[in-house]
Amino acid sequence: MAKPMKGCVKLEEMKALAVAWSLKLLVSLRHTVDLIETDSLMVVNGLKSQTKGLSAFYTVLNDVTFFIQIFTSTVLSCL
C-alpha cells in the first residue's frame, strides 16, 4: 500500500502554508492587509467553506483563518 514519504507535504498544504506564513509575517511587521490573492482555488474554497476537516490541510486553514480575523477588512480572492 502506498503512503506519503516522511517530510513531504501535499501541494494544497504547501499553498495554504505559504498564505499562513505570509500573513504571520505581515502581523509581526504590523502591516495592514486589504486583499489576499492566491492561485489556489482549493485554499480559497476551503477558507470560505462552512465544513472543516481534521486533515493537515484544514489545520493550516484554521491558522490562516485566525490571521485573517486579525485584519478587519480583508478580502480573499483567487487569481
Q: What is the pLDDT of residue 34?
A: 86
**C-alpha cell, 17:** 502554508
What amino acid is encoded at 76 in this protein?
Answer: L
| Residue 7 in this model has a pLDDT that exceeds 80 | no
Neighbours of 75 (CB within 10 A): 11
Please state the domain extents for the chain: 33-78
Q: What is the pLDDT of residue 71?
A: 83
Q: What is the pLDDT of residue 53?
A: 83
pLDDT, tens only, 38-77: 899 999 999 888 888 888 899 999 999 999 888 877 777 7
Q: Which of 3-7, 28-32, 36-40, 71-75 has the lowest mean pLDDT?
A: 3-7
This prediction has a pTM of 0.81
